[in-house]
Structure 1
Amino acid sequence: MAERMRPISIFHFLAVLIALSTPFFAAQAAERRDVLVLGAAANRRVALVLGNSEYQNVPPLTNATSDARAMEKLLQGLDFEVVSGFNLTKAETQETIAHFAKEVRGADIALFFYAGHGLQVSNVNYLIPIDAVLEDETSLDFEAVQMNFILRQMSRETGVRLVFLDACRDNPLAEALSKAGSTEVSSGLAEMQIENGGAGTLVAFATGPKEVAYDGQGEHSPFSAALLAHLSEKNEPLTAIMTRVTKEVYTSTKGLQRPWVNLSLTDDIVLNRVDEQPEPAPKVAAAGPEAGPGSNSRTAAGTATGPAPDDAGQVALNMLRQRIPKIETEGPISFDMPIVFGDPQIDGKSIEELLQGRPLYPPVEGLDQSVWDNHCSTCHQWTKARLCEQAQNYDKIDVSIMRLEHPLGNRFKVALANWAHNGCK
């Protein structure tokens, strides 16, 4: 259901991590983001694509799943890492969103596309899984997914957020909910507030607020068909593309449907930037003197990882390293030895024991406790070998310990780095 995360270079990771973690480098982060947003091949793009057609309690939609599958393929061609799901129940939808939330952190471009039923109640937008019944307004919290919940997951440490909602289709569940006494229910979606942050946000609806869009008679809905036709146009700003999409949908529906776009972007976004000029032959640098000991940046265990960064980068690295927590246990750590972390909630337990326990915090903010409060080994399907691979990352790039809060706390990451440096024994 999801593509594996594309590897990125150590120095790309460090540049993004430093910029996002240190206020001192806010200006440098903005400068770098300007380059990445403009379609450079090195930027990191992560998308969530959901499509629901096979509804269990109302007639199915004709095109929603085919719209989403085609969008998944198009985005993969635009170098997106795609987390996708089709015809999902509420539980499956939450699981897929949780996966996306983990992958999208630190992305330069975060994108969400949804095709299927949606509705708004009192100006709050909901996406409808295939198993929803919606007998009354109370059932919304248990059977539907708030759009704002997904936006929160897209807004953490990301540059640009792009949202495309083909979810304004005629929805029998909205009518049933209205008859049950819920107020201000509509199949059309409500206008959404755009939060500040990053390089901005674009939200595109298939039609205007509180209006109903068409599912279409062909393979795709009018809105999805127009997106698929234009989204990958070479060297075209996204704002110009959305103008073409709006015109095409308005024309194809004989004026009955007009897409609506709300945006707050600080730069032009080009999803398919192509350099049409031949690139000059690369220059071959003359060989320099062999680097001596200590000329490379250190890791958590004091080993070399590559060329030394410039002075500003070294300052930022040192600042991040000062924030890495310490653990009280000294010397090599093994898998089954008790560890004094300096945290009373996990002190005296081994790595092995902690994997059989429960996390202290949710891996993704906003998740229901029933989703994340399980045995760690069950949630992550951790084996000793898989955990060793993760721990080796902390050992090789020590500042990665500070990238995200671990469900068992960042002192647990420090212990993992020590364990990996000792050969994961």
Structure 2
Amino acid sequence: MRFDLIARCGGLFRAAGLAALALLLTLTIANAERRVALVLGNSQYQHAPPLANPVHDAQAMAERLKTLDFEVVSGFDQTKSQTQTTIAQFAKQVRGADIALFFYAGHGLQVSGKNYLLPVDAALEDETSLDFEAVSVDFVLRQMSRETSIRLVFLDACRDNPLAEVLAKTAGVDGASSGLAEIPIENGGAGTLVAFAASPNQLAYDGSGQHSPFTSALLQNIGAPNVSITEAMNKVTSDVFKATAGKQRPWINLSLTTEVVLHKIDLNAPLIVGEASAPQTEGGSEARNTGAASAPGQSDDQLALDVLRRKIPRLESDAPISFDHPIDFGDPAIDGKSIAQLIKGKPLFSPVEGLDKSVWEGKHCDGCHQWNESRLCDQAKNFAANDVSVLRLQHPLGTRFKVALAKWAQGGCK
């Protein structure tokens, strides 16, 4: 099954608010599954113009995958010999893994329907040199397919590649192209996802920032709490399309027989205790400091609650809260609006983590929640009685809206 998501390249073969709140939950349901990833990124080419972002992309992806419980085998700016050594290490490590993942950022090309990634010392003179200078993508895929259940492949390698032109024109090799060929998906295990940074005949941009548009979107979405990999890739496609003003649309080949969620959390779990799990404050605003110091004899749980309370964001104004009076929340998205106005407005993001946009985007909050002044007061009283509960789950109108509700309830819901 093919989705217009993450991409085959027509140029060349190269290619987190909720995360903080998720730390307040008993984060991931400890996965028994074993995850192993190979991450390669090449920027400093010796026989082709260097690329700005591939190594940055690969390094960031390696770190992101580690937070998602992957064993990561990585290599950056490697020669052919070094790349083979890294792949060999991965081949030993990945055998029997529940999830095998491959991410590549750098130059690549295809010849006669076969894809090749290019180490930094690749110097292509003729078709024979491919076997000695380049690394076959099929070779990597064979290593990650041994006794593995799920295989995820991300290729951010669609850049203009002068070595492809050399091969096609100077050496007269038929079918040489800086774009990638489609990778067939073989049966076995629970399936495979192959994601390309751009659609056929499209250029994948390196980006003006530290990461390419594709990798940037992938970093933002691949570990979203309780979001399946297919949903995440839909979001990646949308983000890349918007970031490039429609010039780049990722592409995906998909054959999964099970839902793959890389970051599972229990939404009903109690708050996690411990300072390491405290969330960051929103929007850079100062957190509320209750002045609670560590008192002798305090339990670990009480200390943890004190830490959480110090992380509850402050409202911009200390003025009393009323139902229909404008509020200075300290959040530009809702500042200057009253509770009455906001509950009739539209949510800023999904009211339930992982909920498809088509279900909630453009809908009005009071329509989904049947909010009215009385119902909202009951909810606000809960926030007032258990103040750290404002940090438990993200709210469709933001955490500061919950803080305001608690203050409204403390004033008698007037």
TM-score higher than 0.5:
yes
Correspondence for 1:261 among 252, 255, 258: 252
Contact persistence 2:150–2:189 (CA under 8 A): yes
Contact 1:201/1:265 (<8 A) preserved: yes
Q: Number of residues paired by the alignment?
A: 243
Q: Does 1:163 align with 2:153?
A: yes
Give the corresponding residue for 2:66. Answer: 76
Structure 2: how far apart are the matches of 1:266 and 1:74?
25
1:240 aligns with 2:216: no
What is the Cα deviation at residue 153 of structure 1? Answer: 0.4
- CA distance in 2: counterparts of 1:208 and 1:186, whole angstroms: 14
Q: 1:277 offset after TM fit, Å?
A: 1.5
Out of 60, 63, 66, the residue aligned to residue 56 of structure 2 is 66
Amino acid at match of 1:69: Q
Following superposition, the deviation at residue 279 of structure 1 comes to 6.7
* Counterpart check, 1:208 vs 2:193: no
2:188 is matched with which residue? Answer: 197
> Aligned partners of 1:85 and 1:106: how far apart in 2?
22
Query: TM-score normalized by structure 1?
Result: 0.56
For the 8 Å contact 2:205–2:213, the answer to whether it is kept is yes
Q: Verify the 8 A CA contact 1:189 1:210 in the aligned structure 2.
A: no
Q: Is the 8 A contact 2:53 2:211 kept in 1?
A: yes
**Match of 2:34?**
44
**Contact in 1 for aligned 2:202/2:247 (Cα 8 Å):** no
Alpha-carbon separation, structure 2, partners of 1:190 and 1:101? 24
Residue matched to 1:118 = 108
Q: Which residue number in structure 2 is paired with residue 142 of structure 1?
A: 132
Aligned counterparts, 1:125-136, within 5 A: 125-136=115-126
Unaligned ranges ≥5, structure 2: 1-27, 272-414
- Report whether the alignment pairs 1:274 with 2:238: no
Cα distance per residue 1:273-311 (max 9 Å; x no partner): 11122279xxxxxxxxxxxxxxxxxxxxxxxxxxxxxxx
* Counterparts of 1:89 and 1:39, CA distance in 2: 39
Counterpart code for 2:87: I
Counterpart-to-counterpart distance in 2, 1:45 and 1:221: 25
Range 212-221 or range 80-89, more displaced: 212-221
Match of 2:221 in 1: 230
How far residue 212 of structure 1 moved from its aligned partner, in angstroms, is 2.5
Matches within 5 A, 1:1-400: 41-179=31-169, 180-278=171-269
Distance in 1 (alpha carbons) for counterparts of 2:200 and 2:259: 25
Deviation of the 1:59 alpha carbon: 1.1
Structure 1 pair 48/39, CA: closer, same or farther in 2 (3 Å)? farther
Deviation at 1:164, TM superposition (A): 0.2
Q: Could you tell me the percent identity over the aligned residues?
A: 65
Q: 1:238 to 1:58 in 2, by over 3 A?
A: same
Unmatched 5+ stretches in structure 1: 1-37, 281-425
SS in 1 for 2:147: coil
Query: Structure 1, residues 43-84: CA drift from partner, whole Å, max 9, x if none?
Result: 100000000000001110000000000000000000000000
* Shift of residue 39, structure 1, vs aligned partner: 7.5
**RMSD of aligned alpha carbons:** 1.5
Partner of 2:9: none
4+ residue runs of structure 1 moved beyond 2 angstroms? 209-212
Contact conserved, 1:190 with 1:210, CA < 8 A, in 2? Answer: no
